Structure 1
Amino acid sequence: MLTLAKLRVSRGNKPYSLPLKVKVCGRSGVTSYQVDGGEKKEYRVLGVADRTLAMKAILYDMTKENMVEEGNSVILMNYIYKTEPESIILTKNSKVMKTSNIDVGEELLDRGRFIANPPPAETITINKVKSSPVKTLVSIQGRVVSEEMTRTVKVKGNDVQVKSVTIKDETDSVKVSLWRHLSDSAGVGKFLSFTDLVVTSYNDEVSVSSTSKTTIKEKEQPTTVVRGSIIAFEPNDVSLDLLVSVGEDFPTYTVSAEILVKLFGCTLENLTETLQSKLPLPCMMQVKNTTIEEITH
């Protein structure tokens, strides 16, 4: 019987009728895609192993997914082995048959699980994204500061929706292109984490784009440290809006009047007069969302 090790040294890129006995170590979630003509289809990535090694398999015939539950031992026939990237392709012509258990060992079992569900790309700051090579996978988080209208573009003759949003963190901002079902996943003001975006470049502008692995989750924004100078303010009932000069940016933050009274050692009645006399005021602020939680100077 053929093994994965013997399969690897074969010529590849052709159908195989010889039976291949493997254990399903793990499987990914279902991924949707669109073929020429607009038909929507689905696939799963599997991590399979035998006693020789672990390998990636892709199931394109979803009628067989009950046969490839995690932990099942199966015999594969009429599959295609691809060398680049290395994978076993299971189509409607492939046979997947249950068989006796195969013990693959814990190390290969873990490797198979990793193949099916690799961890997301490392989360990095946006300024590091700007210096990352094109096609690098990255994860980022930040606040949506602007969004464009969703538009429809042609991809391989099919209509596909895409929307661009701008994400900003404490280091920089970057445009993110959200494709297909992700095009309605982001709104201005939300603090979001994005996994597995691919770095792209067009006309010397670095941006990132969603992939089939991208996930988007709304998160509570962490507190960040902002160093700048207060240059103007607008009093409200119990707070003040501060215009702050931070490099070439001029964000506006809200601060409780009580925080400034404590900072200056003044009274609430003469707070605005005291603040105005100190402008521009260099300071360091602990900011969450657009609210100053602590301020020193």
Structure 2
Amino acid sequence: MKLHQTMLCMQSLLIMIAGVYEIDLDTGEVRTLTRQNEQVFSMAYDHKKRYVYVPRYSTGDIVRFPYPNNHTVMLGTIVSTIYPVGIAFDSVNSHLYWTEISPGRIMRCNPDGSDVTILLNENKPTALTLDIQNRWIYYAQQLSPSEIFRTNFDGMDKRVIIKNLTTYVLGIGVDVDVERLYWMEYYTGDLQSAWDNGSDVKTIISTNVTIENWDIDMDEDFIFYTSYNQIIKINKFLGQIPTVVHTDTQRIYGVLLYKQDGKNTSIRNTI
């Protein structure tokens, strides 16, 4: 797999296709930030220090670069790890979280890579997201059938909140303001939501796209999700007809939405 990321600048996305690319959501303009051949399935953003964090699966490390950036970016290695998949950043407490699908761990460190801590040993953890306000980590697994779990920021009080998913989940997010969790099923393409305690499960849309349904990100009104070589957005409350934001020639993995000064930016990973 190659890495393809794209970022949108208020309106803007980041994607990964053998490199990091920025997509302006207002104009559709695509700008190359950096080129590389890597497997990357997600990205995270530090809103205080303004860094994008990128977990490189096959290389076994996490790198970062400053964003916004008007120049070609230089990647700085933060921490060495093992098969990282999901990643999230806590800008309030300045902690980076990620999953290692093998050997199976949920990890945490400081923004500079120091104080690496194993929070939890888990079976094939994949996507994760943070509820910073209530100090919860939500994460999924690469298992079929699958489940979604919740644990606190110290890896304690682990519990299953979503059971009997038909396939595994590689895209997950939480909206603290409305207390709802959102996720995309990889094989079925079902975009679903539930209360943050796992109740009231609803299907926002069934895309009917088999496999290649990867990452999601969201703002106050919309969910952005990747489906093979497209980034699509849909109203997360009304479930209206989805809109294609970007179509690429390569497979898209992760997507990161960036917002600043009234603009949106999103990042995607493609191959």
Q: Could you say which structure has the higher strand fraction?
A: 2
User: Which one has the largest radius of gyration?
Assistant: 1
Q: Could you say which structure has the higher helix fraction?
A: 1
Do both share a fold (TM > 0.5)?
A: no
Q: Which has the higher contact order (CA 8 A, sep 6+)?
A: 2
Compute the TM-score of the two structures, normalised by the length of structure 2.
0.25
